Amino acid sequence: MRAALLTRIWAFLFPAQISGGGTQQQFRRPPLLLWPLAGLGFSALGWIAGGFLGSWGPRTACAVGATAIALGLLNRQPRAALVGAVSAAIVSLAAVQIGHYFFSPLLALPVAALVIGVVGAFAFRRRRARIAFIVGAPLLGSAGFLAGMLATFLAAMRLYDSRVAAQIMLGGAVGFGLFLMAGAAIASRWLDATRAAGEMS
């Protein structure tokens, strides 16, 4: 029972593709766990790098741009990575400026996530996977940012450390990349599983 459960978990995290002869081969896409880890690392590095350029606006632009780069590289589409990074950064900077006057600078996050979703959706071959990622990207990005901020705040309370509390926005940026890339990984896994099932039938 336990062995069967571990086998299923392993197959989900490190899937195999089915060849024409019915044999399993190593899956061409990166392992499922690599996607959220890449989103976490790239967004954190982008946020830190943006601190050398300015405050909220440049940090946000660099964080979302780095997330777009991670998505494009894992999809093996360097051109899409560049286009997505530049587009998301420019749109996020514009959204930050607009948000200062009308709503909130946090408006940049779902808007940038939508841009990443539109550019990243071209990596999927099925229309439903593309639509799911485009619709889900702003929701995942926003939810991830809030979850990251909350996790950092709770960690600061637990540790009684003001230095950790000062990094609450960094936690939000990490959550943004983590959730967005996790959604991309699930969409990719769902697409490939559907294609493999079609080949076996």
Q: Identify any residues that bridge with 17 across adjacent strands, giving them in sequence order.
A: 25
- Which tens digits make up the pLDDT trace of 133-155? 888 899 998 999 999 999 999 98
Name the token pair of 52.
């050398």
Nearest-angstrom CA–CA distance, 45 and 172: 13
Handedness of CA 112, 152, 40, 36 (dihedral sign): negative
pLDDT at 201 over 60: no
DSSP 33: T
- Residues 25 and 16 sit within 8 Å (Cβ to Cβ): yes
Write out pLDDT tens, residues 47-106: 999 888 877 888 888 999 999 998 888 888 888 888 888 988 888 888 888 877 777 777
